[in-house]
Amino acid sequence: MPAIELHNLKKSFGPINAVDGLDLVVEEGVCLGLLGPNGAGKSTTMKMLTGQAIPDAGEIRVLGYKLPREAKQARAEMGVVPQLDNLDIDVTVEENLAVFARLYRVDDVPAAVERALEIARLTDRRKEAVDRLSGGMRRRLLLARGLVHEPRLLLLDEPTVGLDPQIRTELWTLIDGLRSRGTTILMSTHYIEEAERLADEVAVVADGRVIARATPKELIAEHAGEKTAEVYGPPDRLHEVRSAAEDAGLRVRSAGPAIAIVGAEMAGPGLVPHDAIHRAGSLEDVFVMLTGEEAE
């Protein structure tokens, strides 16, 4: 039985079709990254999975429960880590965990708290008030709180958005640890690198739909290519190189100040300038080719 099954899911807000016929199956034990630009419908999808939003149409099954009817049962077996920090800053680290453990009716609350403290590597800070933790520690605590009842499924909505690179790396290590222990994870992100590093499979979401779904490697092979050639230079020159490449049937995208010729291994002689920088095709190439958005 898959952990998550979404079929033809739809949700509109007035004239906006936030989720517009989304299909997604996530098998147990998989870490799936929902990768999509701002407004693609990722958070709305997540909210329908937790019962916080009711779909207009479509079917949702989470851990075998049919939503929204059985949202309560499903919620009891899943961990949800919100994008925004909503920790209780008036109580200690361990009390934050204990409150959730009791809420989820965990049998052995002290043991659950102990385990969560270890996951978050906060055992030595357990008596600390939350507002005295560093940003990275708070994030680890937020994640550990979502794990206090040992959920089979974890929903992470933009787990590292707005964090500095060091804290982001710290969280990646933590999430990767959960993944290798077999927890099923659905993680939304618009950071390419996050999806590339953590996700076994990536579903690219645009305009409320899944437009591609595979492992990062397969997506790159199918939608980018072996090699990408980046060309820097004054706009006139880039324009010339681009036109020539496109006339020859190559795909070209903007890449900040440069242009990138995607699938450059197919280029005929003279189409890729000698000073171009060659690199392997990437998930970023896939994302930009499929969604037309610049990557973050």
Ligand X SMILES: Nc1ncnc2c1ncn2[C@@H]1O[C@H](COP(=O)(O)OP(=O)(O)OP(=O)(O)O)[C@@H](O)[C@H]1O
Give min distance, CB of 140 to Mg ion, in A.
21
Q: How far is the CB of 14 from ligand X (least distance, A)?
A: 7
Question: Using CB under 5 A as the criterion, what x/- string covers residues 59-88 for binding Mg ion?
Answer: ------------------------------
Give the count of beta carbons closer than 10 Å to the beta carbon of residue 129. Answer: 14
- Residues contributing to the site for ligand X (CB under 6 A): 13, 16, 18, 36, 38-44, 190
User: Which amino acid, residue 48?
Assistant: M
- The listed partner (ligand X, Mg ion, none) that binds 183, CB under 5 to 8 Å by sort, is none
> Cβ closer to Mg ion: 42 or 227?
42
From CA 124, how far away is CA 215, in angstroms rounded? Answer: 38
For residue 229, the SS3 value is strand
Round to the nearest angstrom and report the end-to-end CA distance of the chain. Answer: 35
Per-residue x/- track, 2-41, Mg ion (CB under 5 A): ----------------------------------------
Tokens of 84: 């925004």
Q: Does residue 45 bind Mg ion (CB under 5 A)?
A: no
Q: Which does 277 bind (CB under 5 to 8 A by kind): ligand X, Mg ion, none?
A: none
Query: Position 71: which residue type?
Result: A
| Complex with ligand X: residue 35 or 147, whichever CB lies closer | 35
* Residues forming a β-bridge with 157: 188
The entry of ligand X, Mg ion, none near residue 173 (CB within 5 to 8 angstroms by kind) is none
Q: Which does 36 bind (CB under 5 to 8 A by kind): ligand X, Mg ion, none?
A: ligand X
Q: Which CB atom, from 43 or from 160, has the smaller least distance to Mg ion?
A: 43
Please answer whether residues 93 and 125 qualify as being in contact, where contact means their C-beta atoms are separated by less than 8 angstroms: yes
Q: Is the peptide bond before 110 cis (omega within 30 degrees of 0)?
A: no
Residues in contact with Mg ion, counted by CB under 5 A, come to a total of 2
Choose among Mg ion, ligand X, none what residue 216 binds, the Cβ cut-off being 5 to 8 Å by kind.
none
Residue 43, interface with Mg ion (CB under 5 A)?
yes
In the list Mg ion, ligand X, none, the entry touching 86 (Cβ below 5 to 8 angstroms by class) is none
SS3 for 90-125, per residue?
CCEHHHHHHHHHHHCCCCCHHHHHHHHHHHCCCHHH
Q: Is 108 exposed, middle or buried (0-12, 13-18, 19+ CB in 10 A)?
A: exposed
CA distance 124 to 121: 8
Can you give the binding site for Mg ion, defined by CB under 5 A? 42-43
